[in-house]
Amino acid sequence: MLKIYNTMTRQKELFKPLEEGRVRIYTCGQTVYDDVHIGNARTYSSWDVVIRYLRYKGYNVFHVQNFTDVGHLTDDADQGEDKIEKRAKEEKINPWELVDKQIQEYWQVIDDLNIQRPNISPRATALIPDMIEIIEILLEKGYAYEVQGNVYYDTTKFKDYGKLAKLKLDEEKARARVDQDPLKKNYFDFALWLNARKGDQMHMMRWNSPWGEGYPGWHLECSVMGMKYLGDTLDIHGGGIDHIPTHHPNEIAQSESVTGKKFVNYWMHAEFITLNSKKMSKSLGNYVTARELINEHGGLIVRMGLVSAHYRSAVDWNPDVIENAKNNVAKIRNCLNLITQSQGGRENTLEGEIKLVREDFEKALDDDFNNPKALAAIYEFIKKINSSLDNKKEILLKARETLLELLGIFGLDFTKKEENADIKLNELMDIIIEIRDKARKDKNYEISDKIRNKLRETGIIIEDGPEGTRWEKLM
């Protein structure tokens, strides 16, 4: 029986999807102006474990995740610049080009971390007609108002606005900022549509609308995509904890005013990764990219680091996280190697352990996805395997299969060849080539030829050319 902590009720609740056997899940995706940082990657890895586990339990899961490629402003109060346009200007490129580049890099990171791709990943800009349609409904129903080509959602019209965030509306208002958007009627109101003209500046990404040329407000895309691809009510909606105060209350207000139905049954929020105890964020420039870490340690080790803690506990990213991940990956590989090398014996003591590890693993993940507990069950199992190599070979192989299956739910794929081997080989080859170059410079051809011949025996071919020495590993 799976239980999920629902932010709306602040309680763990028994999970029951709307339609038996099917789960509709939406997760807030990347604002594609910068690289995926390790905080984003942890949130996406957390949803990946949720989805893989639901699939393991036999659900047919349909997952939608957006790409924000317009409308996310640098300031939450609808005042700042568009993050994409700002960065494109800085890099002196077209915003569409920036978005395209970032999306390609995004997929490479997602694939390297072995995060399953969503069933659909729509771009906000692909749904402008749908957004305009929803704004028209909100205007018609009296939930929105237009001022000078901007359209705002009127939060005073929606009963329970801010319930998810447990916003104490009066207290918040008392802290109101002075640089509020002067066109808004109420403090919490937010933009659904923004006029493309701001002073003498024109927003580059703009579309025709009944309110003139403009572009959508950031919160709208998630409501529109959720309703379009998943229906009026979603089973699960996920995002980082930063979305609790504003983005998600706004999504609820928009969607529920249109449909008159509950928008989401289970709200899940992932805690943040911090760096030296400070929020890791692109806008603060305080972050480590997923790409740097993958290049340095390989996707498997980074992924292990990302899934080792509970998704609702904050993680401070320090060298210990990678160190522990390395040790755990090595421990698993060692066990898999021991199984391969073992001739097997006559014992069958592992049968019971195979059953037990699955039970403990499921119990842990059923309890609001307690990854550390589920991993602890796996490490316990590994200890048992290591001391039971005298079991029949077929049982050892069954233990191996179980291990690989359960690790697979964390997105830890131990069936692929060791990625790190390539990284280490690169480093090693740099050293060997440097030594050989030195030998050639010193005209010590005996050494340089010996290195070349020995490498050939191991399947590595060396070629000397005008641009230096190249090497290639034969398959």
Indicate which of Zn ion, ligand AMP, none lies near residue 222 (CB less than 5 to 8 Å, by partner kind): Zn ion
- Nearest-angstrom CA–CA distance, 149 and 212: 6
Binding mask 132-161 for ligand AMP (x = CB under 6 A): ------------------------------
Cβ 44 to ligand AMP shortest distance, Å: 7
User: 30 or 402: whose CB is closer to ligand AMP?
Assistant: 30
Q: Which of 15, 26, 39, 307 is the binder for ligand AMP (CB under 6 A)?
A: 39
Q: Which residue, 281 or 308, is less far from ligand AMP as judged by CB?
A: 281
- For residue 280, the partner it binds in Zn ion, ligand AMP, none, with Cβ less than 5 to 8 A by kind, is ligand AMP
Q: Of the two residues 279 and 398, which places its CB atom closer to ligand AMP in the complex?
A: 279
Q: Are the beta carbons of 64 and 118 closer than 8 angstroms?
A: yes
Distance between CA atoms of 68 and 32, rounded to whole angstroms?
6
30 binds, among Zn ion, ligand AMP, none (CB under 5 to 8 A by kind): ligand AMP
Min CB(26)–Zn ion separation in Å: 8
The yes or no reply on residue 70 touching Zn ion (CB under 5 A) is no
Report, in Å, the least distance between residue 336 CB and ligand AMP.
31
Three-state SS for 327? Answer: helix
Contact letters for Zn ion, residues 210-239 (x by CB under 5 A)? ------------x-----------------
CA 372, CA 374: separation in Å to the nearest integer?
5
Q: What are phi and psi of 432, to 5 degrees?
A: -65, -40
| Closer of 6 and 30 to Zn ion (Cβ) | 30
Query: Does position 299 bind ligand AMP by CB under 6 A?
Result: no
Q: Among residues 139, 77, 134, 119, which one has the least CA distance to residue 251?
A: 134
Single residue of 43, 65, 195, 265 touching ligand AMP by CB under 6 A = 43
Q: Which range touches ligand AMP (CB under 6 A), out of 25-33, 196-204, 334-342, 374-382?
A: 25-33
CA–CA dist 420, 298 (Å, integer):
6
Closest residue to ligand AMP using C-beta atoms: 240
Q: Which of 422, 25, 81 is nearest to 218 (CA)?
A: 81
Q: Considering CB under 6 A, how many residues would be counted as binding ligand AMP?
A: 17
In sequence order, the 6+-apart residues with CB closer than 8 A to the CB of 431 are: none
270 belongs to the binding site for Zn ion (CB under 5 A):
no
Contact indicator for 46, 311 with CB cutoff of 8 Å = yes
Q: What whole-number distance in Å separates Cα of residue 184 and Cα of residue 319?
A: 46
Distance of alpha carbon 6 from alpha carbon 14, whole angstroms: 10
DSSP string, 214-271: EEE-TTHHHHHHHHHHH-SSEEEEEEEGGGTTTHHHHHHHHHHHHHSS-SEEEEEEEP
Residue located via tokens 């400070």: 278
Please identify, among the stretches 39-47, 56-64, 169-177, 305-313, the one whose residues bind ligand AMP according to the rule CB under 6 A.
Answer: 39-47
Of residues 445-474, those binding ligand AMP (CB under 6 A): none
Q: Is 66 in the site for ligand AMP (CB under 6 A)?
A: no
Taking the complex as a whole, how short is the minimal distance between the CB of residue 28 and ligand AMP, in angstroms? 4
Q: Which of residues 230-269 bind ligand AMP (CB under 6 A)?
A: 239-240, 242-243
Report the greatest alpha carbon distance in the chain: 87
Asked whether the beta carbons of 232 and 210 are under 8 A apart, the reply is no
Of 220 and 275, CB closest to Zn ion: 220
Instruction: For the CB of residue 280, give the shortest distance to ligand AMP in the complex, in Å.
Output: 4
Work out whether 308 is an interface residue with ligand AMP (CB under 6 A).
no
Is 30 a binder of ligand AMP (CB under 6 A)?
Answer: yes
Q: Calculate the CA 419 to chain-centre distance.
A: 21
Contact 126, 224 (CB under 8 A): no
In which element (H, E) is residue 397 found?
Answer: helix 393-409
User: Which of 24, 42, 203, 384: binder of ligand AMP (CB under 6 A)?
Assistant: 42
Query: Residue written as tokens 């447990």?
Result: 166
Positions 267 through 286 that interact with ligand AMP (CB under 6 A): 270, 272-273, 279-281
| CA-wise closest residue to 25 among 52, 2, 7, 3 | 52
Binds Zn ion (CB under 5 A): choice among 4, 28, 270, 375: 28
Q: What is the CA radius of gyration of the chain?
A: 27
Residues that bind Zn ion (CB under 5 A): 28, 222
Residues at the site binding ligand AMP, with contacts judged by CB under 6 A:
28, 30-31, 39-40, 42-43, 239-240, 242-243, 270, 272-273, 279-281
